[in-house]
Structure 1
Amino acid sequence: MNPRLFSSLRPPRRAGHSLSRLGLVGLLGLAGLSGCAGPQVQDYAAEQPTLDLRRYLDGCLQAQGLFTDRAGRVVKRFHVRMEGRWQGEEGTLDEHFTYSDGSTQRRLWRLRHLGEGRYRGQADDVVGEASGAQAGNAFRWAYTLALPVDGRVWHVSLDDWMFLMDERTVLNRSAMSKWGMHLGDVTLVFTKDAPGSTACR
């Protein structure tokens, strides 16, 4: 993600909170991603069509998306061109972003299927590993990005949901947070190129 997008997504300052205390709040917020509050991926186990992430993220895809801040205001729009490739349980997803201000970015995901719908992923700007799980038409992906903002590096947590609508379309929404506070959301529509496509444009 373009770091400039986050200049308007800063969490509000709270008087009397030290950095160490805010760090504790952030850890509690991350722990909440796997807790019982809110929807869980298994809630969608009976939903159809079934999302096979290795099949869907294999080949050429396009996505249109936008960022909204915590007030719901659209901060920036973007387009993503992607190419996914799988060999057995190992895969890559090469993402090329073009933002509405003309700036560009690339992210290369290295993915692994662990069995029973569980996945791990790594990318250069992801802190540690991303972890995800699939059930029914849904996939939930949680990870932390290291984002340079105003000369510092922020660790921003994403709670990322994908829903397969039909064989070519996935809806994706990610909630962004820092220190346990909601910063905004990323919304995308993925479209897989038609069968027979030989190159990612």
Structure 2
Amino acid sequence: MDIKDFDGTSPELLPETYLAGDLEGWGVVERVTGGLQQRFTVKARGTWDETAQVLTFLETWTFDDGRQDTLTWRIVKLASGRYSGHEPQVEGEAEGDRAGCAFHWRYTRDTPQSGGGDKSMLLNFNDWFYRIDERVVMVRGSAGRAGIPFSILHATYRRI
């Protein structure tokens, strides 16, 4: 799939517009081979700085085992539908592209794992966001290592 496949689709998904404000979300993580791994909820808040062309986006994921993971994004809007992002646990830079109703976001992050303590794993994320209407975006993402996905994420975000 290529981001250009979404040229001309609507409603348009502009991360700086949709992610600014308060959002809530729900979802599941499944094994690539099938089977539920985890359920989660998300609370998020974004602030768009038009002058700097920067979206500050804070999201807290709460998993069904009680574990939480908070991401503090700084997403910069670049030219031609491109974005770059920084987050303290991200290795290097996140990369994003948007067209029409879609946003494609890719990054590698040291991600806390279940089981407590300081257990974490460096994972590659490949997320596709699709705007459904004025309030709802659905996400299909994958997480893996060395380019091989082992988990699939399905999430729904709603503006509140």
TM-score normalised by structure 2 residue count: 0.90
Query: Would you say 1:133 and 2:97 are equivalent positions?
Result: yes
User: Which one-letter code corresponds to 2:141 in the other structure?
Assistant: S
In structure 2, the partner of 1:172 is 139
Pick the structure with more helix per residue. Answer: 1
Unaligned runs of 5+ in 2: none
Query: For residues 153 and 180 of structure 1, what CA distance do their matches in structure 2 show?
Result: 18
The partner residue of 1:182 within 122, 143, 149 is: 149
1:179 Cα offset (Å) = 2.1
Q: Residues 79 and 98 of structure 1 are in contact (CA less than 8 Å); yes or no, is this contact kept in structure 2? A: yes
The one-letter amino acid paired with 1:177 is G
What TM-score, normalized to structure 1? 0.73
Residue of structure 2 aligned with 1:93, choices 57, 62, 73:
57
Give the aligned residue type for 1:40. Answer: D
The CA distance in 2 between the partners of 1:185 and 1:172, in whole Å, is: 10
Deviation at 1:181, TM superposition (A): 2.1
- Aligned counterparts of 1:180 and 1:153: Cα–Cα separation in 2: 18
Question: Unaligned 5+ residue runs, structure 1?
Answer: 1-38, 194-201
Residue correspondence of structure 1 range 188-199 to structure 2 within 5 A: 188-193=155-160
CA contact (8 A) 2:84 2:94 kept: yes
Give the alignment partner of residue 115 of structure 1, picking from 76, 79, 93: 79
Question: Larger Cα Rg: Structure 1 or Structure 2?
Answer: 1
Q: Which residue of 2 aligns with 1:74?
A: 36
Q: Which amino acid aligns with 2:58?
A: D
CA distance in 2, matches of 1:176, 1:105: 15
Match of 1:156 among 113, 123, 140: 123
Matching residue's letter, 2:59: E
Question: In the alignment, which of 110, 113, 120 is matched to residue 146 of structure 1?
Answer: 110
Counterpart residue number, 1:84: 46
Contact 2:127 2:140 in 1 (8 A): yes
1:158 to partner: Cα distance: 1.1
Q: What is the identity percentage for the equivalent residue pairs of Structure 1 and Structure 2? A: 30
Kindly indicate whether the alpha-carbon contact (under 8 Å) linking 1:93 and 1:110 is maintained by their aligned counterparts in 2. Answer: yes
Counterpart of 1:101 in 2: which secondary structure? coil
Number of residue pairs the alignment of both structures matches: 155
Distance 1:180 1:118 in 2: 22
